[in-house]
Each structure stands twice: as structure tokens, then as C-alpha cells.
């Protein structure tokens, strides 16, 4: 019996030694991956993820380094959180990271990646990028749609003036979302959603639900044996959302096609107002077009415009107003600048922005601390080497825009709201920083070929709206010593944890014309 026991002990020791030796040899012979915490079987590092992913990644990066390797379930991922690593990934080795990762939610909402944001890199994507930059979101189209942006600004200011005179508080997050939604709606289909309050509520709810789902963790996307299961009910919810979304967009396209048909019959086709759906239909009907746009391509474009432009712009403005309320001295300085340049006989306009450097600095500081998309997702299409580490093909990349904007090696007092750091007269290079991805410690709209094509529209909207809110009103909040809580909430974008409810106080009376 003793001999059997000794034999079993020897066998167990031999087995354990063999397993450890093979693991050691395999590790030594495998390509060197970036550092990271110990992964668990099946779930990988999912147990480490908190509800706010970019904050979790920042904490892990502070421990393991600016480039870390994680397994989210069975999906290999790397997280970049320093300007140097971001530059290497998005500039030096950009050709290896030109795809977007595909998820259940993005496949449903973009008709199988037939949009611009999630389309695989290739001929179609290049065609669409050129289309966005030259027609859909190009300078000429933005100039033509200037009256639309001006109208929506006036709607918001008039609404706030009524509330101020009544002494009522306002949920500014909801109102800024309503304004952005109406603006995109008029750009896309030439009418305000809020003309039909039921339709407006439906659109806002769709945008909110899709953004919320996109930012949530779905087991089907990360754990291989759950791929065809719907344990969390995502697909069931998506079927309902997609049906509502598709029905709304089908109606928009049908109305546009009917309008075009009637004008063609009366030989007045050239008189149609060119909103973005009309531009897309023109391209789809153009036999000489480089590529043929399908109906699903058009619908996916409309989804992109509503989802990407509405939520991010509204959140940037909401964070901006929150910061200004918490820093009344900065609010006063901005108001003085606007008064000296614009006066009090008219409301600030987009053409005034180049003459308002402090306002521009405020907008940049908002985007540094509260970037619209705190994490930029990419996926490697081929094996590559980053800072001496091996990154295999099909590795998901998260570029932490949020972290690089708070890097203490590049920003003095990185957690403080200091617009002065962006003023040219401060004598530093930061005064000249642009938002378009050339400076890798400041990437609010991404960088490279996959950078945000709506940067110009977003800047116009955020800067002009904040200027008008500063010029026309003072702002007060109840409780909390008159300050706004700045806690972040979970999501794909950067929502606030709590609604910004505040009271406008009329600063210019009566409200001047635009």
C-alpha cells in the first residue's frame, strides 16, 4: 500500500512538472505579448472590468504599463493609453489597424456594417469616406445648412428665455439632446423631429437605447461558446429596436422618393431642397457613380448620422456647461470676451468663433477632459510589432483617448479645468494644438484615416451653442453648494451619471436677434 501511495505521489509530481515545463517552454517560444494581469479560464479578464470601461483600463494601465494585453473572454485585446504608443499605433503602424471590431449590436444597427463607421477598410470604405468629406459633411454642405443650425440655436435660446422668466429649472441634457436631434433631423430629412412630439420622442428613445446597448457587454461577442446564444436577451431587444428604426428610415426614404417623383413629373427636379437623404439618393441613382449605393447603404448612413452626431455633440455641450457652472470665473471671462467682440445687440454666430480665442480654448479643454468617445476601437488585420511587443492579427485595440488627455507627463494639473493651457499667448506649443489628430496627447476625434469625419460640424455646434448660452444667460444649480456633480456614467460615449438640472437667469433682456 505504501508503494502504491509513493507511486501515485511520484506520478502527480511528474504530471505537474511536465505541465509547468511545457507551459514555460511554450511561453518562451511564443511571441512576446504586452504585459497584463493573470487571465482566468474562459472569461479571461472580464472579472476585472468595472461598469465604466475606460476608467478600468486606465487603472490597469497605471499598474501594467501604457500598452497592456487582455483577454475579454476569448477575444484578445490591447489597450493603448500613452501618446507615444498611440502615435505608433495610429500613425507608424496605422495600416495594421484600419478595421473596426464587429459586434452583434453594430451588425444589427448598421445593416451588416453597410454604413461608414463600421464598414471594413477597403474600396467601399474609401469611396464612402470621400463622399462624406466632399458632399455629406464637407464645407459646402455645412455652409448651405448654416440657416438650419442658426434656427435651432434660436429655438433653444427662446425656450430657455421663457423658462428663465418663469423661474423654472431645466434638464439641460435633455434640451441639448433635443436641439442636436432636431438639427440632425433637419440636415437629414428637412424637418424637425419635434414638429411631431411623438415622433421626436421615438427618435430620441431609439438613439438612447441603441447607444446604451452598444456600450453594454454582450456575452455573445466575447465568449466563443455563447456566440449563437442570447443569454442576455440582446438579440431579442435588437430585433424590436431594429424594426422600429428600419420602419422610421423607410418612411423617410419613401417620402423623399415620392417628392422626387412628383418634381420630375413637373420638370422641377432641380428645385428640390438638398438634404442629406436627397444627396444619397442622387448618388444611388447616378449610373456613372464609382460605386452603387444600395437602399441598405442609405439607411445605414442615416443611422450613423443620428447615432454618432446627436449623442456625442449633446454630451460635449452638457459637460461644457457643467464645467463652466463649476468655474464661474471662467464663465465670466468668456462672457466678457463675447461682449467685447459681439456686443449685446445680436446673438453670437459661427462667423464670430475665429475671433473668440478664449471660447475656442474652453471647447478644447472640454474635449480634453470629456472626449465624446473615450475609447476608440480598432482591430488588427495582420500581425505587427508595437514597442517590441507582438500584436497578432484579429486583436481588438482600444485607444484610450480619455487617458492620454489626462497624462501628467504632457498636461500640467491634468485633472483641472484650465482653458488657459490652450491659449496661444501662454508661450507653449499647447496653445497651437489642433483637435484633428496630429497631436497624440490630444485626440478627441481620433486620428488618421479612421478619424471622425464630423469634426467640423461638431466644433461648430459645440462652440457656437456654448457661446450663446454664456452670452444670453447666467446659470444656477440648487444644492451641492451651487456646484455640479461631475461623475461619469457607463456607456459607449461619455454620459454624465446624473442629469444636469439648472436654472437659466436672463443676462440679456430682451434676447437679441440672431
Q: What is the CATH number of the domain that holds 289?
A: 1.10.630.10
* Cα-based torsion angle of the residue sequence 62, 63, 68, 73 in order, rounded to the nearest 10 degrees: -110
Average pLDDT (91-109) is: 90
Residue 5 forms part of a structural domain = no
Strands lying side by side in the sheet with 75-80: 67-72, 75-80, 396-400, 375-379
Give the C-alpha separation, 166 to 168, whole Å.
5
Residue 21 forms part of a structural domain = no
Residue 412 forms part of a structural domain = yes
- Model-wide pTM > 0.75: yes
Residue 221 forms part of a structural domain = yes
| Structural domain range at position 86 | 31-506
Residue 218 forms part of a structural domain = yes
Residue 9 forms part of a structural domain = no
Residue 207: is its pLDDT beyond 60? yes
Give the C-alpha separation, 212 to 259, whole Å.
35
Question: What total of structural domains would you count in the chain?
Answer: 1
Residue 11 forms part of a structural domain = no
Q: Which of these ranges, 14-18, 45-49, 210-214, 235-239, has the smallest mean pLDDT?
A: 14-18
Residue 56: is its pLDDT beyond 80? yes
Give the model's confidence band at 324: pLDDT under 50 very low, under 70 low, under 90 confident, else very high: very high
Average pLDDT (225-253) is: 86
Strand partners, 476: 503
Residue 2: is its pLDDT beyond 60? no
Residue 19: is its pLDDT beyond 50? no
Q: Which of these ranges, 46-55, 89-98, 211-220, 371-380, has the smallest mean pLDDT?
A: 211-220
Give the model's confidence band at 310: pLDDT under 50 very low, under 70 low, under 90 confident, else very high: confident
* 452 among annotated binding-site residues: yes
Q: Which of these ranges, 34-43, 173-182, 206-215, 475-484, has the smallest mean pLDDT?
A: 206-215
Instruction: Report the SS3 class of residue 78.
Output: strand
Average pLDDT (338-356) is: 95
Pairing of strands 384-386, 389-391: antiparallel
Residue 8 forms part of a structural domain = no
pLDDT in tens, 113-140: 999 889 999 999 999 898 888 888 888 8
Give the C-alpha separation, 330 to 332, whole Å.
5
Amino acid at each position: 500500500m505504501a508503494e502504491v501511495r509513493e507511486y501515485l505521489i511520484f506520478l502527480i509530481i511528474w504530471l505537474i512538472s511536465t505541465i509547468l515545463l511545457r507551459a514555460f517552454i511554450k511561453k518562451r517560444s511564443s511571441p512576446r505579448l504586452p504585459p497584463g494581469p493573470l487571465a482566468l479560464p474562459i472569461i479571461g479578464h472580464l472579472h476585472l472590468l468595472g461598469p465604466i470601461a475606460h476608467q478600468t483600463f486606465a487603472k490597469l494601465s497605471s499598474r501594467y504599463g501604457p500598452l497592456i494585453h487582455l483577454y475579454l473572454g476569448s477575444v484578445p485585446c490591447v489597450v493603448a493609453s500613452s501618446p507615444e504608443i498611440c502615435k505608433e499605433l495610429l500613425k507608424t503602424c496605422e495600416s495594421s489597424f484600419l478595421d473596426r471590431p464587429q459586434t452583434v449590436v453594430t451588425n444589427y444597427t448598421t445593416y451588416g456594417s453597410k454604413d461608414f463607421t463600421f464598414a471594413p477598410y477597403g474600396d467601399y470604405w474609401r469611396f464612402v469616406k470621400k463622399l462624406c468629406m466632399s458632399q455629406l459633411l464637407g464645407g459646402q454642405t455645412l455652409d448651405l445648412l448654416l440657416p438650419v443650425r442658426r434656427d435651432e440655436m434660436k429655438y433653444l435660446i427662446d425656450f430657455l428665455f421663457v423658462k428663465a422668466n418663469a423661474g423654472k429649472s431645466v434638464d439641460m441634457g435633455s434640451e441639448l439632446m433635443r436641439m442636436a436631434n432636431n438639427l440632425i433631423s433637419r440636415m437629414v430629412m428637412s424637418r424637425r423631429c419635434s414638429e411631431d412630439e411623438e415622433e421626436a420622442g421615438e427618435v430620441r428613445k431609439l438613439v438612447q437605447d441603441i447607444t446604451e446597448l452598444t456600450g453594454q457587454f454582450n456575452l455573445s461577442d466575447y465568449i466563443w461558446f455563447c456566440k449563437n446564444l442570447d443569454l442576455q436577451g440582446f438579440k431579442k431587444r435588437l430585433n424590436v429596436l431594429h424594426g422600429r428604426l428600419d420602419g422610421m428610415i423607410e418612411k423617410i426614404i419613401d417620402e423623399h422618393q415620392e417628392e422626387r417623383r412628383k418634381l420630375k413629373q413637373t420638370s422641377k427636379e432641380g428645385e428640390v431642397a438638398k438634404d442629406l437623404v436627397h444627396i444619397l439618393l442622387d448618388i444611388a441613382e447616378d449610373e456613372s457613380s464609382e460605386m452603387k449605393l444600395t437602399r441598405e447603404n442609405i439607411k445605414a448612413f442615416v443611422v450613423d448620422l443620428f447615432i454618432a452626431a446627436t449623442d456625442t455633440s449633446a454630451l460635449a455641450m452638457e459637460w461644457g456647461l457643467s464645467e463652466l457652472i463649476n468655474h464661474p470665473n471662467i464663465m465670466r471671462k468668456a462672457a466678457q470676451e463675447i461682449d467685447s467682440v459681439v456686443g449685446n445687440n445680436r446673438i453670437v454666430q459661427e462667423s464670430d468663433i475665429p475671433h473668440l480665442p478664449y471660447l475656442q480654448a474652453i471647447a478644447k479643454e472640454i474635449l480634453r477632459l470629456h472626449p465624446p468617445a473615450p475609447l476608440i476601437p480598432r482591430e488588427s488585420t495582420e500581425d505587427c510589432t508595437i514597442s517590441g511587443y507582438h500584436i497578432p492579427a484579429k486583436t481588438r485595440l482600444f485607444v484610450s483617448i480619455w487617458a492620454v488627455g489626462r497624462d501628467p507627463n504632457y498636461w500640467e494639473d491634468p485633472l483641472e479645468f484650465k482653458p488657459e493651457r490652450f491659449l496661444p499667448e501662454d508661450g507653449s506649443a499647447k496653445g497651437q494644438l489642433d483637435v484633428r489628430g496630429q497631436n497624440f496627447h490630444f485626440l478627441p476625434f481620433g486620428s488618421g484615416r479612421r478619424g471622425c469625419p464630423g469634426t467640423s460640424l461638431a466644433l461648430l455646434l459645440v462652440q457656437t451653442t456654448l457661446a450663446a448660452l454664456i452670452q444670453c444667460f447666467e446659470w444656477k444649480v440648487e444644492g451641492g453648494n451651487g456646484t455640479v456633480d461631475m461623475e461619469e456614467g457607463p456607456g459607449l460615449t461619455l454620459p454624465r451619471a446624473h442629469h444636469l438640472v439648472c436654472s437659466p437667469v436672463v443676462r440679456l433682456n430682451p434676447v437679441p436677434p440672431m
